[in-house]
Each structure stands twice: as C-alpha cells, then as structure tokens.
Amino acid sequence: MHFFALKYRKYKHFGTHDQPTKKMKQFFKTTFACVLGVFIAGTILIWIGVIMTIGIISVSTVPTYKEKNNTILYLNLKGELYERSKENPLSLLYSEKSEMSLGLDDILKAIKTAKDNDNIKGIYIEANGLFAGYASIDEIRQALLDFKKSGKFILAYGDQYLQKEYYLASVADSIFLNPVGMLDFRGLSASPIFYKNTLDKIGVDMQIFRVGTFKSAVEPYTTTHMSPANREQTEVYLHSIWEHVVQGISQARKLSPRQLNACADSLMLFREETRAVQAGLIDALAYRPQMKQKLARMAHADKYEDLTLASVTEIAGLPHKAPSTQDIIAVIYADGEIDTSPNDGINSRKLVAELDKIGQDAAIKGVVLRVNSPGGSAFGSEQLGEAVDRLKQLKPVAVSMGDYAASGGYYLSCGAHRIFADAATLTGSIGIFGMVPDASALLTDKIGLTFDEVKTNRYGNFPAIHRAMTPGEKAMMQAYVERGYDLFVKRCAQGRKKSVEDIRKIAEGRVWTGANAVKLGLVDQIGTLGDAITWVAGRAHTPDYRRVDYPVKKTIYEELLSELGSYSRTSLEKWILGDRYRPLDIPKQIQHLDPVQARAEIGHID
C-alpha cells in the first residue's frame, strides 16, 4: 500500500488533469472495491453457514435412544479415536448412523452400561478403519474382557481388519471376515521422517541445544537417518509393544506366540482369506447378510429386524442413577501438546488454574490426572509439575497414562502419589532441547536480502534468524538447556522418591513403554483409568463417590459459539477438513512455540 501511495504522489505533481493520475485513482477504486467485495462476500458466506448451522441445530429433532429389549451395542470402529468425545454441530448434517467423533470416554461408559443393562444382549464390533494408539486400544480391550464376565456375547466382523482393530477384536467370542476381505497382521514398524536435506536445499540450518543421548526429537532437523541410540530405543519399545500384543492375542485365540509370529511373517494381508481361518486368526468367512442372521441367533431373536443396534453415543447417553453422595473424585484430562497451539492441546496456564481451583474444593476428595501428551513447552511443563505438587499436598493424586505421557507429559505426571500406565504406553523421555533456526543462507544467498543493525548492548539483537549464533550465545543457550534438564531430573527424583543419580541413569531422553517403565520405577503399576479412580477413592477413604470430569464438556451450542468466536474461518475449515486441517495450522503453532521444549517426537507406530 505504501508503494501505491508513493506512486500516487509522484503522478500528482503533473497536475489534476494528468491522465495517469485519473487512471491511478480508478485503479485504487477498482482494487479497493474488489478487496472489499471479497472480504464482505467471505464474511457473509461464513455467517450464512453459521446461521444455517444454528438453525439446523434449533429445529432438528435429535433422536433420543430409548431402552428396548434385544438391543445390541454397535461398536463401529471408524475414524480417529479421541480421549473425550466432542460435540460437533455439523454432525447433525449427516444422516449416516456412525460415530462422527469417537471418544474413549464414551466407549468405556457404553461398554460398562451394556454389561449392567439387561436389555442389552451383546456387543457387535465392526472394523471400519480406526486410528488409535495401542494403549487406547488396550483400554477398550480391558473393558470388553470385563464385559464378558456378564456372560453376554461379543461378535466381530470386518471387510478389512487393520492390525490394531484385529487386536481389539481378538477378545470376541467369534471373529468373522468378509470372504474377499483382508487381514492386516504383520508386526510393528516406525518410520520417522527427516527434514535435513530439505532444510539444506532452502538454506536453513537448525542450531540445536539438547541434553540426553536418546533425545531424538531434534534428529529430523540435523541428520538424514536414525542415530544408533534412537534406533536402539525404538527397537526396544517396538518389541515391547509387539510382545504385549502377541500375548494378548495368544491368550484370546489360544494360539502360541510362535504361531502368531509365523502368521505375521507370512504377510497375511495378501494371503487367501481361507488362510486366516486355517491359521486360527479368523473363525469364519461371512457376508453382511449372514452376520445379521448370526446376530439374531445370538440375541435369541426371531429375526434381525427385531434387534436394535444402538451406537456408542446412544448407550453412553442412557440415564443412570447418580450416587446420592456429595463426595467427588475428579478426573482431569490433560490431552495434547503443551502450549503448542492456542486452540488445541494443553494450555498450561488454564490447567494450572483448574488444578488450584480443584485443590480448594472441599467436595473433591481425590484427583486422577488422565495424561495423554508427548509434552511441549519446557516452561509450561514446569508450571504444571509445580501445580501437581501443590495439589497432592491437599488430596490424593494419581495419574492414568494414555498412549503417551512422555517428556513434558511425564514431567507433569512424575509428582503424583501413584502412576498407572498401559503396557503399551510410551513414557519417560526425560530430557529437553532447544532449536533456533539460522536462515541466513535462505534470506541472503537465495532471496538476496541484506541486513544492518544498530544496538545499544552486546546482545541487543538476539535472537535473530538472519545470522548464526555466536559461540558465546551458543554456550549460554546450552547452559540454559542444561539447567532446565537438571530441574526436570530433580523433579522426577523427588516425585518418584529416587536419587538424582538413579534418574539420570534411565533419563537421557530415552522413551520407555509402560511395561518397562514399571520395572524401572518410573511407573507404579499397569492399570486402566478405572483402576486409577478406584485407587484414589481408596486412598481418600471414599467408597461412595461421584465421578466428575474436568474440564466440563461444552454443549453443542457452546461448542459452536466458542469455535466461531474470533476464529470463524479457522473453525469452519477445521470442521470441514478434519485432520487434513493440521498442516494449515503449523504456521500458527510455530508462532507459539517455546524455543526450549520438553517434547518427545515419536513416529507413528503401525
């Protein structure tokens, strides 16, 4: 805009009758009109969508499930699994009866309700592409094993079973596969991506400061392959998880680990479907109409049409008699990266305030922190760790770990009275790092920018991405990171009642599974969220209690207004694109990143 203003003043010297001046004025009018028109049109379209959504929510009659005899809980394994279900206003636009946003909390609640409700005859699991961590899968699997104590049936069916889906389905009384379906059973792998060559091509050098031989989060920016230490820790935790999975399937399917590993090595994905039956992985092949007949027989119904297949949301939403006691066990969810995004993950300031408030609430007798986080800001992690220390001086505190409770996730967990984890949880990673980009080659050599400076003191222009850090600056940055690491180790030692030297031996940024973490003393026991709640209630001498989850879930109206607020376009993009929105959010995350991180970069395990 400044460029056009200068051009306008230049033409104005030639007089008001000069033709270029008139053209420039017309150009301004046209340009401004176009920009204003696009802005107004975009805003109108957004708010038309908002108004339509509110209208749909207001006039839609959301069917409420009413208990019926011969009901079957339909566990539709589809989409991404979240720690907690979330109201999505746009879900009302979909007529398909499927879970728009699967929440682990709702699944566990639905399974427990199905176990105790006489109208619900069994559970039907259908594999449709579920993306989840092994620890979350294990949590559901344990709930299903508990459900089987009721004597009710569980049937599983899939056109295609992903490996995690099959592990979950292995608890079923019978497992069926489409006659032309596929079974993915091949072992585990992790394939991290490295950016070093790309950064070199564009002229960016990441200046790294870290403590911990195994702190591999920085490797994608500094090398093109895994370091020996990273490869070692990855092999250890992959084999630990796989051993746990194989043992679970072995017990459920009455197959030896050797038989299961032989199946995995044969790449079952491309084998004849009958091979899976012969190997004992699948009970029978069946098309969907046949499954309807089997479900009717299992439920002792005359025909399939007499059955009611109820979704997780419907069963979880059934009214239940709340305990009359006023005593509360609070379950606080700490889910996502710490202080990485303004809209998602863990906001350390808000969570600290929540913990302090709960500490002063006399009705709350004990607290369970449900942690599912790979960490994030080292500063935010320290604030959370300190808040947990304050809270445990007032009431019993336990931690229940989800898929991840690593680095900053472990930082906020280590001070609890007792720590529960799944055998497949990835935890530990006690270490921190800092990254400062040097983009001088990009900015000067490739783009052609030059920089000058005026400063009052030696470090007046620090940090600056247009130049490399000086040796003195690097030394001070490294010292700062090392002090942060020492504080992290000290807090772990205090929380776990170990010496600093003992923690240092198992720290170094190394990632451990829950199974190995128990042996090392980083975790107290293998257990579920329910186990953690039971332990806290016992520690608080509160046999009768109400469970209350924090933060309180927003209603569908609150979710709509909150999401729109000052992020109207962002929220709509997220609703429409789902997980495909994440790459668009990266630039915003970079703006909010703390330069010193207590975070574990763990590649997708498949």
518-544 pLDDT tens trace: 999 999 999 999 999 999 999 999 999
Helix axes 378-392, 471-496, angle to 10 degrees: 20
Distant-in-sequence, close-in-space partners of 153: CB < 8 Å, separation ≥ 6? 121, 122, 123, 173, 298, 299
Q: What pLDDT is attached to residue 22?
A: 54
What is the pairing mode between strands 120-131 and 71-82? parallel
Residue 260 above 90 pLDDT?
Answer: yes
Assess contact for 423 and 470: CB atoms under 8 A: no
| More reliable by pLDDT, 531 or 21 | 531
Q: What pLDDT is attached to residue 29?
A: 57
Q: What pLDDT is attached to residue 98?
A: 45
Residue 165 above 50 pLDDT?
Answer: yes
- Strand, coil or helix: 342: coil
Residue 157 above 70 pLDDT?
Answer: yes
Q: What pLDDT is attached to residue 170?
A: 98
Q: What is the pLDDT of residues 53-85, one digit of tens each?
A: 555 545 444 456 788 899 999 999 998 899 998
Which of the residue ranges 146-150, 268-272, 434-438, 580-584 would you say has the lowest mean pLDDT?
580-584
Q: What is the mean pLDDT of residues 476-487?
A: 95
Q: What pLDDT is attached to residue 48?
A: 57
What is the C-alpha to C-alpha distance for residues 522 and 545, in angstroms, rounded to an integer? 29
Q: What is the pLDDT of residues 183-239, one digit of tens each?
A: 999 999 999 999 999 999 999 999 999 998 999 989 999 999 999 999 999 999 999
Beta-bridged to residue 223, according to DSSP, are none
Residue 4 above 50 pLDDT?
Answer: no
Of the chain, the percentage scoring pLDDT greater than 70 comes to: 80
Q: What pLDDT is attached to residue 95?
A: 43
Assess contact for 427 and 406: CB atoms under 8 A: yes
Going 535 to 536 to 542 to 545, the CA torsion angle's sign is negative
- Output b/e per residue, 329-360; b: 16+ Cβ within 10 A: bbbbbbbbbbbbbebebbbbeebbebbeebbe
Q: What is the pLDDT of residues 109-128, one digit of tens each?
A: 999 999 999 999 999 999 99
Distances (CA, A) of 340 to 211, 256, 347, 378, 381: 21, 44, 8, 11, 12
Q: What pLDDT is attached to residue 145?
A: 98
Distant-in-sequence, close-in-space partners of 118: CB < 8 Å, separation ≥ 6? none
Residue 500 above 70 pLDDT?
Answer: yes
Q: What pLDDT is attached to residue 493?
A: 97
Distant-in-sequence, close-in-space partners of 465: CB < 8 Å, separation ≥ 6? 436, 437, 438, 439, 440, 443
The mean predicted confidence, pLDDT, of the chain is 86
Q: What is the mean pLDDT of residues 271-278?
A: 94
Q: What is the mean pLDDT of residues 488-503?
A: 97
Closest CA to 348 of 280, 263, 418, 411: 411
Residue 272 above 50 pLDDT?
Answer: yes
Give the pTM.
0.85
Residue type at position 545: Y
Of the chain, the percentage scoring pLDDT greater than 90 comes to: 72
What is the C-alpha to C-alpha distance for residues 596 and 211, in angstroms, rounded to an integer? 11
Residue 377 above 50 pLDDT?
Answer: yes
Q: In this structure, what DSSP letter does residue 70 have?
A: S
| More reliable by pLDDT, 259 or 87 | 259
Residue 581 above 90 pLDDT?
Answer: no
Q: What is the mean pLDDT of residues 79-100?
A: 64
Which of the residue ranges 207-211, 272-276, 559-563 would you say has the lowest mean pLDDT?
559-563
Residue 171 above 50 pLDDT?
Answer: yes
Q: What is the mean pLDDT of residues 337-342?
A: 86
Confidence of residue 570 (pLDDT cuts 50, 70, 90): low
Q: What pLDDT is attached to residue 602?
A: 74
Confidence of residue 561 (pLDDT cuts 50, 70, 90): low
Q: What is the pLDDT of residues 432-462, one digit of tens each?
A: 999 999 999 999 999 999 999 999 999 998 8
Residue type at position 394: L
Q: What pLDDT is attached to residue 522?
A: 98
Distant-in-sequence, close-in-space partners of 570: CB < 8 Å, separation ≥ 6? 343
Q: In this structure, what DSSP letter does residue 260 have?
A: H
Q: What pLDDT is attached to residue 322?
A: 75
Distant-in-sequence, close-in-space partners of 469: CB < 8 Å, separation ≥ 6? 207, 436, 438, 462, 463, 477
**Cα–Cα–Cα angle for 241, 243, 249, nearest 5°?**
105
Q: What is the pLDDT of residues 25-49, one digit of tens each?
A: 565 556 555 555 555 555 555 555 5
What is the C-alpha to C-alpha distance for residues 176 and 125, in angstroms, rounded to an integer? 10
